[in-house]
């Protein structure tokens, strides 16, 4: 990451040192680049939103974080804290980076509902949501999440596949998720 995006990522660093968020953010960023290439969208909104979408987890005590996301039942109120705090933190970090003030509100609005809002408020929001969810299908996530949630890896990847239609908002995001799921199942069958 170079230029202004590298600056934003470096400023976000102290907020990403919980919940494997640094790794999650880098992988979501790589998926966002692919989605932007294939789906179009405003990079000046999508990339900062992806880089900052989970900075609010820093405001949630680590012992509560696993209760706020994952397969099964989770606490929506705790999850909501990371969105609200993330929108506040992202505004501050974007101002520190000298980011275009005309875009800060749009980025913060996306972050404010990136998990809780079921429908996208814009195409850029859909790209951020899909980038965030695609992480769950990555090789790295499949090494982390089954252990984190104490579930079988294959069963977890199968469960992820059942979520695709409900989670993804773009056709490209769905197709990427299906392809990643197939790769993970193949990798797990060869392990």
Q: Enumerate the H helices of the chain as residue ranges.
A: 3-12, 21-39, 43-52, 62-65, 76-96, 101-112, 123-134, 139-149, 153-167, 171-190
Rg (CA), the chain: 16
Quote the pLDDT of residue 70: 67
Give all domains of the chain, ordered by start, each with its CATH number: 3-190 (1.10.3210.10)
Quote the pLDDT of residue 68: 67
User: 61: helix, coil or strand?
Assistant: coil
**Per-residue tokens: 129:** 């949501």
CA distance 102 to 28: 24
Quote the pLDDT of residue 175: 98
CA distance 42 to 56: 23
CA distance 146 to 133: 16
pLDDT less than 70: residues of the chain: 67-68, 70, 72-73, 191
Quote the pLDDT of residue 148: 82
- Of residues 19, 18, 1, the one with CA closest to residue 10: 1
Quote the pLDDT of residue 147: 87
CA distance 187 to 191: 6
Quote the pLDDT of residue 155: 93
């Amino acid at each position: 990451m170079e230029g202004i995006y590298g600056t934003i990522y470096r400023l976000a660093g102290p907020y990403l040192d919980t919940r494997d968020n640094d790794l999650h953010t880098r992988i979501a960023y790589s998926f966002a680049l692919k989605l932007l290439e294939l789906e179009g969208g405003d990079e000046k909104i999508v990339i900062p939103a992806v880089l900052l979408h989970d900075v609010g987890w820093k405001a949630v005590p680590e012992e509560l974080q696993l209760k706020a996301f994952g397969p099964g039942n989770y606490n929506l109120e705790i999850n909501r804290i990371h969105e609200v705090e993330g929108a506040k933190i992202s505004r501050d970090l974007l101002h520190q980076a000298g980011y275009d003030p005309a875009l800060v509100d749009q980025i913060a609005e996306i972050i404010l509902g990136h998990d809780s809002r079921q429908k996208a408020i814009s195409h850029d929001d859909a790209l951020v949501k899909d980038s965030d969810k695609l992480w769950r299908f990555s090789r790295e996530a499949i090494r982390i999440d089954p252990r984190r949630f104490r579930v079988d890896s294959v069963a977890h990847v199968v469960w992820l596949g059942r979520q695709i239609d409900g989670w993804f908002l773009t056709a490209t995001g769905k197709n990427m998720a299906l392809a990643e799921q197939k790769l993970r199942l193949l990798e797990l069958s060869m392990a």
